Chains A and B, each alone.
Chain A
Amino acid sequence: MKIKTIYVEDKIKDHKNTKQIISRINYENLIYCEHYSEIFNPSNQNFRIQKKFPSLILAKKDGNLVHEAPKDFSIGYKNNYYFSHMFNCLYDCKYCYLQGMLNSANYLIFVNYEDFLNKIKKIILKNQDTTCFFSGYDCDSLALEKITRFVEKSINYFEKMNKGILEIRSKSINIEVLKKRKPLPNVIPAFSLNPQFVINNFEDKTPSLLKRLNAISTLQKNEWYVGLRFDPIVWNDSDERYISFFNKVFKTIDIGKVHSVTLGNFRMPSTYLKKISKIRPDNYFIQFENSKRVLNLEKEKKNEKTELCIKQISKFVDKSKIFLN
């Protein structure tokens, strides 16, 4: 990965993680700033151009480190939280909501990992029941692991946190960090999956379905229980092709080592959709979804498709492991 420019907040220039991350990159420009928002937040910048040529911003996250997850967002645990130690990712999915939520496509990494993990510990200790934490919500944790080493540090931390569950959601096949250590029952590598024709059309720069399935199989052979995330399922062809996709997935992996399966439709706040519609005028998927928004087209079709998915998945996995997000 080529990063020409790194921006560093003055206050974390001497932080251990900052120095380590910088040492792993062959950069040309190192620019200090007072606050990451000076670069990341201004509104009149172009996400698409930056996506082609992203810079890296290293910063410190103050306050609001961990958030409660939306009410129905769960993989079977009572308490659910998410956190973002990083914004943006290597991949360029046409449906990605980050394009609508953020003004910049630069990679923003909060290097104060210890503050995230301390906050997580406090929440775990406060809650009586098991608490689940979702990572990779606003980024892809595994994809940049070689630079950030965040997952490695988190897993080490969660080894001592029995009442805490960590989900690491990814499309990446960069699984070295998981392969090289003994599996933990409370850390769930979770992979987003879509049929290959959807990956070809909508998930630019991501690993193929086969590569993702191979990564899952490898982890399962190493005794990891893996989450399968059909989220968002992008409907772009006949039902038969989706049925054959589910068959392929569950015939390739070890069904006995599936932690959970989640299903989610494409969903995006209408303000994000409107914004992406402007910055990606050539993106048929977004223009199509935007037209559906403007025309207020059918919603019942989504339920019908969801039922189809549940029917197919439950042929292989117990219904108690399937969650709708």
Chain B
Amino acid sequence: MIHFIIATNSEARPLIDLFKLKKKNSNKLQIYCNQDISLTITGIGKINSAIGVIQTFYETSQKTNDCWINLGLAGHKSHKVGKIFAIRKIHDQETRQNIYPFVNSFEIDSDECISIGKENKRYNSKIYEMESSGFFNACNKFSSKEFIQVLKIISDNHSESVDFKNNEQIYNLIIRHKKIIIKFSEHMKKTQTSIFDKNQKSIDEEFLKLFKKENFTFTEEKQMKSLLKLYFTKYTSIEKNIFNIKESGHYNIKKIRNILRL
């Protein structure tokens, strides 16, 4: 699943429409979903963003190594308003922590950003915004860093700015990047499935499907799971009647060892 973490309603609306997301019942935050994508509106700031990530995790798939994207508006001294960037380095101005998101093979301009605690208009040579450090640290509890990305669209620079109260203007600024947003998400998803193949058997699930846990000692269970893992590197499915669910762990371990010629 891909989770979008967005600070404000006006930044979220283009993506809700783009992915045809439906509002989910949640009494804490606004979460929108379809089968493959969730979007959470967290409120501004790194703490809100981190809370939003955790809330999203527990209210949606609860799966580790899902993909996470923080998309939002940001300022810069000279970058053109409307330009989109993937963030390759986050500097948290308050904690002075540096975070280095994975630079993947997707072709997109990238830049560094400063994650600030309070809004200010002192532009400098780095993108500045308010969510990415909290977002990244929270996501990294659940996903490997390759599945966590930050996309920022320039909303203001030293000479011009969008009207932040004008929802339509913000909507247009974001939706014009819909192709990039879709392709970037797909790229992340593809990377994820290449590593954690959908067909990859969950050994714990397979074990429970095939055996009665109480027939196995702790060590036997460990041994059987290790053998099942080995089995599935060679075969895609288990033939019927190989195992006897009523028999002991010892008996079934012997069976699978014979099949694997160990």
Contact = CB atoms under 8 A, between A and B. Distances in A.
A33 B223 contact: no
A290 B226 contact: yes
B223 A295 contact: yes
Contacts of B104: 53
B191, B230, B262, most chain A CB atoms within 10 A: B230
B144 A287 contact: no
Interface residues of B, number: 32
Interface in B126-152: 140-141, 143-146
B210 interface: no
Contact of B191 (A39, A49, A283, A284): A49
Contact of A284 (B105, B140, B234): B234
Interface string A42-54: 1011101110010
A288 interface: yes
A1 to B, nearest CB: 14
Contacts of A241: none
A4 B103 contact: yes
A301 to B, nearest CB: 12
A42 B140 CA distance: 10
B102 A45 contact: yes
Interface string B188-221: 0001000101001000000000000000000000
Interface SS majority for chain B: mixed
Chain A interface: which size bin? Answer: 20 to 34
Interface string B73-98: 00000000000000011000000001
Contacts of B230: 284, 287-288, 290-291
B24 interface: no
Contacts of B229: 277, 281, 287, 290-291
Contacts of B144: 44-46, 49
A287 B260 CA distance: 12
Interface of A: 4-5, 7, 29, 31, 33-34, 38-39, 42, 44-46, 48-50, 53, 55, 277, 281-284, 287-288, 290-292, 294-295, 297
The 9 closest A-B pairs by CB, nearest first: A294-B226, A284-B233, A46-B144, A5-B103, A287-B230, A49-B146, A291-B226, A45-B145, A291-B230
